[in-house]
Amino acid sequence: MNRRKFIILTGVGATSAGVLGACGHPEEKLIPALIPDEEYVPGVDYWKASACALCDAGCGIIVRTREHRANKIEGNPDHPVNRGALCARGQAGLQLLYNPDRIRGPMRRTGERGAGEFEEITWDEAIRALADKLREIRMHGIPENIVFATKSSHGATALAARLFASAFKPAMRGNMHLVSEGLNRDAESEPDIYNRFVAPIFDIANATYLISFGARFLETWHSPVRYSLAYGEFRSAKGKPRGKFVHVEPRMSLTAANADEWLPAQTGTEGLMALAIAQVIIREGLRKDASQPEFLSETLENYAPEKIADKADIPAERIIRIAREFAAAERPLAIGSSRLVARGRDNMTAINYLNLLVGNVGKPGGVVLPAVADFDPLEKLGGSYRMSSYQEYLLTREATGEGCSALLIHQSNPVYTIPRAADEIRKIPFIASFSSSMDETTALADLILPDHTSLESWDISATLVDEKRVAVTVNRPVVKPELNTRQTADVLIAISREIGGADFSPPFESAEEMVRKALEQLPGRGEETADSIIEKGVWTGEPTSKPEPLKPTLFPFSLLSTSEASGDDYPLTLLAYEHAALGTGEQANLPLLQELPDPMTSVMWGSWVEINPKTASSLGIADGDTVEISSPHGSVRAPAVLYPAIRPDTIAMPYGQGHMSGRYAKRGVNVIELNPYLINPESRPDTVQVKIAKVAGDARLIRFGTMLPEHPEVKR
């Protein structure tokens, strides 16, 4: 008799946990299934609300758990930001929890720095070792600085870091720097032109005519889920006319592909295009807000469509037509990205000026100016240290010549994201990492104190919903910790107690207590308790604080220019863009996102360079050929993808690949090496001049539906 063995996998949890080898020991779960458990009923799903931590958009999630295991993530339908929807990144959160490359417990370096030789130690040993090192620095009065670098300047870790800095009390000649890497934050919300410190909301849903200057809001800009939902309403024909969408960008992105009209303007001329449209509106008397300063009319003559058409490579007639359509629309709206040129804030000033001209500020379908100040639910709990950006810190170091005696890293990987800083980081005498997995910076650490994943942690954040309301989202543990890890905020509190002595008394003992205290202090929460808000995952209300008004600013149009000048040595402009799934590389070790095909090229599991077929033909490059891309800063090799929807003078590559650690992330190349972050706190330019040439070699171009290695996690 034939006997067949069947294995049944149910739900995403089985798939994710099985693929990543995190099933544990099932025999240990047999007894709890027979003996009643106080926390769950065997076979019953429990949905727990929490927050997505895979980007800064602030989406709410609900996680399905069964027998203390998380096995599915969905959007929280009660959350006003994402309204139950969730992107691929958010749904891949389980693979952070069950990733086989997670660091299993605290470790101490035993070999040469970067050799990957570590020994396991206990948490008591790890906390004592870090506290002793910090005391040593303080006692000897070393005139160098200690830096704590984290991903964000808000949240539980940031507050614990501020209290930690207060407890440290460095020697007279020393200092404690708190910095946030902030590499994924654009300056497109720069609010100066709107006379507010608080960034505005762009009401795409109710607009009737939308112009986007490089803002890929369907992929990575601000809050993709929120603005994708808004775009669906913008396109809806129910009860209102279908809105028109014009997108300006040198490459056809997914956002550009959804536009009614795509303008492939020269890279770096987005601000010039905006000023040309503004010039037409003023000279033809089409502006709806006559209160704008008259002197702008004379200044804008320099940006007439007839004068900038050649620079932008867009016909003047086309610019004039779009300007008239935009001004005549019932609810026009202009949005943009600051990252395409070095002077990103100036670009955004020009783009936002269009909204002032058509009088859509503070109106439906336009720019919504918050009537509340930037709300931080943890602000009242203490910590007076100001957090600066990592870029600002490096600028200060370069200006003063200050050294660094210790670097503490949390959810930040500057060796990968700021290549020009890598050599300096390697020279720092002591490095401690709180990363939950091995990355380029953690590999250099002397001490590793691994953090929980977001599904095992407590945190709280606030996101603006509309003019008056904010959504306070609670991140709470949905499962017990998988490994011997600890939440970094709790570790910092413990170290603060160690080094602060009897004079230091933290106002809370853990991140959970921190979150609960913040919830109890929410203004106008009525009868809602901390427990009820935690259960729901979000609180929506109206803070009483008002934004501080600014003085009107002059618009520095004279500072606008095109992209970096090209020459014979580097004749092409490289446009690096954020990968829709991998971002700038933080999630590169999640196989679900690696195998998600790029929507425009269908490429997966690696890097590629997009090149116009005419340009490729002139250089003897065919689809799939290995090419070398060189800039004044370095060179990388990748397979070529012939892409007709890109300017002939431009090539494009996504961020996200080229890591040196992680079984799924060790593939492709790091495009940042071609443009090592130009230390400029105002913007991060995504363009650099390059040259490209065909070289020998197999770059392994993998497309969906074609060839796929049996084990794609193995670098080839």
For residue 464, the SS3 value is strand
CATH topology of domain 572-694: Barwin-like endoglucanases (2.40.40)
Four-point Cα dihedral 631, 633, 637, 641, nearest 10: -40
Q: What is the mean pLDDT of the chain?
A: 82
d(CA 517, CA 615): 60
pLDDT at 21 over 90: no
Average pLDDT of span 459-481 = 91
d(CA 565, CA 223): 33
Q: What is the pLDDT of residue 305?
A: 95
Per residue in 288-322, pLDDT (tens digit) is 876 665 555 557 788 999 999 999 999 999 999 99
- Single-letter amino acid code for the residue at 274: A
Burial 628-651 (b: 16+ CB within 10 A, else e): bbbbeeebbebbbbbbeebbeebb
For residue 611, the SS3 value is strand
CATH topology of domain 201-368: Dimethylsulfoxide Reductase; domain 2 (3.40.228)
Q: What is the pLDDT of residue 171?
A: 52
d(CA 378, CA 470): 14
d(CA 339, CA 331): 26
Domain definitions of the chain by residue range: 11-97, 107-181+382-451+482-541, 201-368, 572-694
The pTM assigned to this predicted structure is 0.86
- CATH number of the domain at 11-97, please? 2.20.25.90
pLDDT at 110 over 90: yes
- How many other CB atoms sit within 10 Å of the CB of residue 383? 19
Contact yes or no for 79/538 (Cβ under 8 A): yes
**CB contact set of 20 (below 8 Å; sequence gap of 6+):** 95, 98, 99, 100, 591
Residue 583 pairs with which residues in a beta bridge?
Answer: 579
Distances (CA, A) of 391 to 104, 179, 442, 638: 31, 9, 20, 29
Contact yes or no for 470/462 (Cβ under 8 A): yes
- How many other CB atoms sit within 10 Å of the CB of residue 115? 11
Contact yes or no for 184/585 (Cβ under 8 A): no
Between 649 and 139, name the one with better pLDDT: 649
Q: Looking up tokens 């080094």, which residue turns up?
A: 499
pLDDT band at 494 (very low <50, low <70, confident <90, very high): very high
Structure token pair of residue 650: 């431009």
Per residue in 640-682, pLDDT (tens digit) is 999 999 999 999 999 999 999 899 999 999 999 998 654 443 4
Length of the chain: 716
User: Within a 13 Å sphere around the CA of 497, how many CA atoms are in the beta-carbon half?
Assistant: 13
pLDDT band at 686 (very low <50, low <70, confident <90, very high): confident
Q: What is the pLDDT of residue 16?
A: 37
% residues pLDDT > 70 (the chain): 78
Between 500 and 434, name the one with better pLDDT: 434
d(CA 124, CA 129): 8
d(CA 57, CA 224): 8
Burial 585-616 (b: 16+ CB within 10 A, else e): bbbbbbbbbbebebebbebbbbbbbbbbeebb
Top CATH class of 107-181+382-451+482-541 equals alpha beta
Q: Work out the end-to-end distance of the chain between its first and last CA atoms, rounded to an integer number of angstroms.
A: 44
Burial 225-255 (b: 16+ CB within 10 A, else e): bbbbbbbeebeeeeeeeebbbbbbbbbbbeb
Give kind and range of the element (H or E) at residue 502.
Answer: none
Average pLDDT of span 249-263 = 96
Q: What is the pLDDT of residue 28?
A: 46
Per residue in 476-492, pLDDT (tens digit) is 999 999 899 999 999 99
- How many other CB atoms sit within 10 Å of the CB of residue 474? 25
Closest CA to 673 of 696, 657, 694: 657
Query: 424 burial class (0-12, 13-18, 19+ CB within 10 angstroms)?
Result: middle
Angle ∠(85,86,87) on CA atoms, nearest 5: 135
pLDDT at 190 over 70: no
Average pLDDT of span 386-401 = 57
Structure token pair of residue 605: 């599991």
